[in-house]
Structures are given as C-alpha cells and as structure tokens.
Structure 1
Amino acid sequence: MSLFDVNDIVLALHQARDEWRDSQRRSREPGSREFPSRDALAGIVESLKGALFPMRLGPPDLRHESEDFYVGHTLHSALQSLLVQSRLELRYNARHNPRDAEAIDAEGDAAVRAFAAALPGIRRLLDGDVLAAFQGDPAARSVDEVLLCYPGILAMVHHRLAHQLYGLGLPLLARIVAEIAHGQTGIDIHPGAKIDAGFFIDHGTGVVIGETAVIGKRVRIYQAVTLGAKRFPTDGEGKLQKGLPRHPVVEDDVVIYAGATILGRVTLGKGATIGGNVWITDDVPPGASVTQASLQNAPQHRAA
C-alpha cells in the first residue's frame, strides 16, 4: 500500500494549474510547449562555449586536426536548438496579439542567423576579457587558467551571448542565459547592460550590473560591487516605467573596488578609481579617486 495518495495530489495540482492559467488568460487547449526551456538553453550555451573555445571548453578527447569538424557539428546542432527556442519565445510574445505563424518563424530564423554571424566577434571580445583578467591579476598563471577557472570570465561568456540575444529581440532567452551564469557564479549581469572590450570582474561574488548600465573599455571591478538604480519612476497609474536609463555609466579605465555601490544614472569619469565600501549617487570626475575619507570631506559625493 502506498504511503501517498498520488492521484488526489495529481488532481489538486491540475486544479491549481487551471486556476493559474485562467487568471493569466492562458490557453487550456492541448498543444506543445508554450515557452522556452531553461534546460534546453543550458545545453545550447554549453555547446556554444565548446564551439567558441574548442580546445579548452570542448570535449576532453578533441584533437587539433578535428577541431573544425567539431565546431561545425556542434554549431549546427546548437543553432538548430536555438532556433526552436527562439520561435517559442516569439510565439509566446504573440499570445495576446496574434501574428502569422510564418512571419514569427521568419523573425526567429533571422535572429538566429544574425546571432550565428556575431559569434566570431563575440569570441574576439572574450579573448580581450580573458587577457584583461590575466594582466590584472598577479595570481593568474596563464590565460588558460583564467578561462577555465575564473567565475568572472564564465559570467562574461554568458553575458556576451545573452547581450547578443537581447539585442536581437529575444530578451527571455537572454535572461535565461544570464541567470544560468548568475546561479553558477553569484554574478548578476542583466543581458541589456552594454559592456565594452577588456572587462575584468575579479573574484566576482555578489556583483550586480543593471539593465541600462553602460561600461567602457578596460574597466575592472571587484566582488560585491553594485551598479544599480537609485529609484524606480512610475507612471500616472503607479506602475513602474520600464526601459528608462537608470543605471550608471562607467567610462574607460575605471577601477571599482570591493563593496562599492553606485546608484542611478551617474557617470564615473575616465580613469576614476572608486574605493571599497563607498556609496555614490553623483557623478565622479575623470581621474578622481573616491574613498570613504574623501566622501566625508566632499559633499558632492554623498555617502548614505
């Protein structure tokens, strides 16, 4: 005799799902999956990482002479899977605004073709990120160690892929890719954030970079840094206004040390250094050095 009355639980869960679907105006009609799969995206990203860095993130038995064959085979499979997921997202987006199925599929095809064409550029950006980490960390013994071991690089691999998807009109896929890295590294980068070349996150745990943040070249940040929003404007009905620029702009060659919190659409000028555990809500001039002591003596950089 079973300890559990599974049939009653199955029925109760069915009723709970129906209540949710009714409240969200979801269809109860029989059919295939309605929206993208996190597990499928995880597999796609793993394949893409192998295709981008075959001899380091690819299969352990791969040899140089079969590198191109592996990359071609892996890319074909990953992109076909990505095409399925892109169509699911676009159909999901059109559920309250019906569109022609062929037009949706054509949009998904175009997005994945553009994503595939961007992969060599993404590889070059990531090479720059890896080199910045190697040059910026005296503990790094090789660029290979950086790629294989550094959580900041893993987060940036995901971000470079996710940002491309985000820009191609696939924000849900992008967010899933970003959140997989967030769960693995503790580094939370919204896929909408614009990050230029040579970016290095050292250690990384607890880093938060918001959707509308803009980061220049050769920027280095440490663990527990937040590039966040100061406030969340609402419309006349009290609903949050989405998409407004609300996160910091970090210009080239800025260093931000551990625990710093920078909030709002402020600008950290080129070459500025932001000390640890400071709270900044105003612009910082190029080349400035901001510490807790300087905050106490400079009202233009308020400490909360």
Structure 2
Amino acid sequence: MPKVSIIVPNYNHEKFLKGRLDSIVHQTFTDFELIILDDHSSDDSVSIISTYQTQYPNLIRFVPSTKNSGSPFKQWDRGIALAKGELIWIAESDDLSSISFLEYSVPFFERNENLGMVVVKSNAIDATGGQISEFHPMFNGYESKLFKATSSGLNYFNGDEFVKDYLAYKCLIPNVSGTLFRKSAYLNAGGLNLNFKRNGDYDLYFRMLYQSDIGFLNKSLNSTRYHDDKLTASNNAQSFKEVSTILKPVFDKLKLSASKRLEIMSFYFTVYKYDIFLNDAFTFKEKVTIFQNLSNLSGLLHFKFLKLLLQRGRINLSKIIKS
C-alpha cells in the first residue's frame, strides 16, 4: 500500500497540466500513487493526461468523468474514496509544487500521531509562473505567527486552539495544494459536506481540527496560481452565504462575544460588500436574504448593512421592517 495518495482533480487546465504533473512524478519521496480525475474537460486535458498514464502506467490511475460534476469538492471526495494511502495530497491541476513537497512534509506524521494536517509555505504565481508574492495573500498579517522557526522544523498547533485563535477569523489553510492530511482525519470528520459549492474546504477544516492537530512548515514548497478564471459576483454571494452557515455553529461552540463576532464578520463584510451589497445585479430580495444570513452571526452588523443600503438610496425602510 502506498504511503501517500496524490489526487489531481482537473477541469480545463490543459495549459497548466504538464507543469503540474511533472512536479508530481518527479517527487523525491516516491512511496505514492497518483490518481488523476478529469471532470469532463472540453479542452485537450484528457489527451495530455493519457500521455502521462502511458508513460507511468504503474503509477497513475486516470478516472475521467462522463459528465461535469459542477463541484470541485465532489472530485476531491471521489478521489479520496479511491485513495489507498494513509496520507492525502490534493494537488490542484493549476498549481505547482517543489519536487521536495512530500520529502519534507511526510515525516512529521510519523513523529506526531495526533497530527491531522501539515500546511507548507505557499507563494502566489501568475499564469506564466512568475511570482506575485512570497506568501499566499490569505496569510497576510499572520506570516510570522504561522511560519516561524522551531527546533522540529514544524510550528505545531493543537487543533482546538488553532480553531479558536486563527481559523475562526479566516481560512488560514487557503490552498489545499499546500496541505497534506491524514485520510483517517478526513473520514473521522465525516468528509466533505457536498452541499457547499464554494467553501466546502473551510467547513471540512473546522471538523477535522476539532479532533486532530495542525502544523505549519516554513518551507516554500507550493505555488498557488492566479489566472483568468475569476469568481463572479454571484459566486461571491454564494460564498458569503456559505461562510455565514459555516461560522454560525463555530461561533456558538466557541461562545464568542458580540464584539468578537463583529470583529470577525467585519472582515467578510468588507471583502464582499462591493461584490454583493453594492451590485445592481442582485435584487432587493436577494440582498435582504444575504443580510439576514449576516444578522445571524453579528447583530451589530445590521446597522452597517442598513446604513450602506440607505446611503445608496436603494431601499425602503418599511420593507426592512416588514422583512
């Protein structure tokens, strides 16, 4: 049985596939299997994958779909169900990694039986592979806290403490390609909630870390690629609704004060307000629905939202009262 199962979920990433697959098949740690999934791509992805499968027949399992699933998380879940390894690496098809990714990250699981996942330092690259930033943008302000030198090489966090002090504020596991985790931790957490279309990973990480620990490795072993496939405003609206649903039980479990809820939700409010609240593509009813989701998390943000819409002259106060 392989130690690691590497899962590459792909959809229409022909221009990135060769670089991604080369960074995997040349890993210096070799006790792994490679499962490549294709979600019914319309480009030349299948042909590229088939070439690699022919070249590495004993390494690669290729599992194409006959129709598009409409969800990357369905592909993740499908790959994990097929995986034989103790450890899982979901290596997204548009990202890149160092060929030493597994060599540096695998040993920590053998030393720490409660360790559920290791997150490596990730930089951000553009479509051509040029570096945009040394750290993934989501780590901004947290770099020195997460990626600091330790005697073991791994900055180790108790799972519950990491949820309370870090993950509740924002998803500081921002790129699954930069994460190696135990399959048992995934299964014990109940796996992915496939009802979530945009933030299924964030929901999963909370449940995994309630019962296992996490470590951050200060080695730049992963590259998150930013390219032309931008999220639309409607995707952002879906994301905001999902974040609201995910964080409500977390806030209740942690017994967070009203001021702490306001502090956390103000971040999301700032991130999404121009894409949703100030977007004329959304109807009044849609905006009120999102507003109600927000109110479940921080009643204090009611007033910010109401003020925002009143300033825009888009809303009738009587409608808010009736709703």
- The TM-score by the shorter chain falls in which range? under 0.3
TM value normalised by structure 1 = 0.27
Bigger strand fraction: 2
Q: Which has the higher contact order (CA 8 A, sep 6+)?
A: 2
Bigger Cα Rg = 1
